[in-house]
Every structure is written in structure tokens, then in C-alpha cells.
Amino acid sequence: MLETAFLKKITVDRYQIRWFSPTHEVDFCGHAMLASAFILFKTGINQIIFDVKNLGQFFVTQEVDGKINMNFPSASFEPIETPPEIAQAFKQPFKQVYLSEQAYVVEYLTKEDLQAEQPDFTQLKAFGTKTHRDFVITTAGDADYDCYSRYFAPAIGIQEDPVTGSIHTVLVPFWANKLNKTVIHAYQASKRGGELFCRIIDQKRVEISGYGVLYLEGHLRE
């Protein structure tokens, strides 16, 4: 996770939340929300409402085994003609490019192509700065996972994000429709890697789930 979350308490189980990358404020970061909920759940509450600017309310609960379930609005996407900048930036063969509010979604032919991709980050940064969008590459899964993905956001200071919960509000309905499934087990194939447990709630919302681990704790002094 490369974004930092900032919280403002409204009530005991309701918070405003904002996220910042190394260079920009971002609209939505799923893993920084999961990390925030992980810490808040240690105070004894078992459900949280996050108020998100421009996106409404996100609902988060925790199961007995510690799994954190995040209820998000699903995001739309549409197929587009391949922009020349994407054709130049990505070297491996791909099927189709789609456009969502957050990112260009590039569907790859195979898992091997996705893993082998080494994009031109100079091209992606310039195009991402111009269009105010990031880039996700994705492909159908195998016996282990329903789908794979990688996420690039050099325009906001992140070359490759380890795990990106927010883009799965696009990828879950995308693959649910293609695979005719309502439950999607996803894997983000970054160097660190990340497993996401996802499901369609209804036509407007998806659930994305995972586990948190406490890595570092500290105190700020005035």
C-alpha cells in the first residue's frame, strides 16, 4: 500500500476518510481503507461507515476470523478503440481496452503475458497526467484464481501498486459478467502480490474482502 489514509471521527462507528499518494490526493484507495478499518476494529467496534467525498458511504464489517468485508459502489466501464499511447506503452499482446472513471482497463491474452509485461512508464506517466487516469492490466484466471491483474499509476507517484482494492470495483463486475459468476477470487500479480475475495452484492454494489496485518506502530509528538 502506497497511499496514506487520514480519518476524521463523526461518531463511534462513522468516519470521514481521505487518501493521499506520494504526490496527489486520490479519490479512493481500498487497501488504505482496509488498513484503517483494521486499526479501528481494535477499539471494539465491529462495523464502520466511511464517508467518501464524491462517492458516498462505504460500509465495512469484520468477521470472527478477522476477514474485513468492504461494501463499495460498483464502477462502470466501456470498450474503446486502443489509444496509441497504450499501444506504445505496453509490449505484450492484449485483446481489448476498456475505459472506466479510474483507469484504462487492458485485457490480456494470458497470465504469462500479464506477468511478463514491463511497461514504458514514461509513456504511462505522460498519458496518465493528460487523462487523469491510471492503468490496469487483467486476464482470466486458472485453477487457483478467477482473474489476475496488475496496476500502474506513475502519474501520481506510483509505478506499480502492490494491491489495489479500488480497481476491483471495476474488475469484479467485469469478470463476473465474462465468467457468469457472482463470487470472484482475484489475485493482483505485483512483486509483493495480493489476494482479494470478492462478490457481487447487487447491480450497484460489490464486496471486496481481505485480511490486515499490523506492520508498524508509532506515536507523533507535538
> Given its phi and psi angles, is residue 182 left (phi above 0), alpha (psi -120 to 50 degrees) or beta?
alpha
Whether residue 199 contacts residue 207, with contact meaning beta carbons closer than 8 Å, is answered with yes
The grid cell for 14 is: 462513522
- Element (H or E) spanning 48, and its range? strand 47-52
Whether residue 191 contacts residue 160, with contact meaning beta carbons closer than 8 Å, is answered with yes
Q: How far apart are CA 76 and CA 94, in angstroms?
A: 21
- In 3D space, the residue among 103, 106, 134, 108 whose CA is nearest the CA of residue 121 turns out to be 134
The grid cell for 210 is: 481481505
Which is it for the CA torsion 171, 177, 183, 188, positive or negative? negative
**112 is a catalytic site residue:** no
Catalytic residues: 3
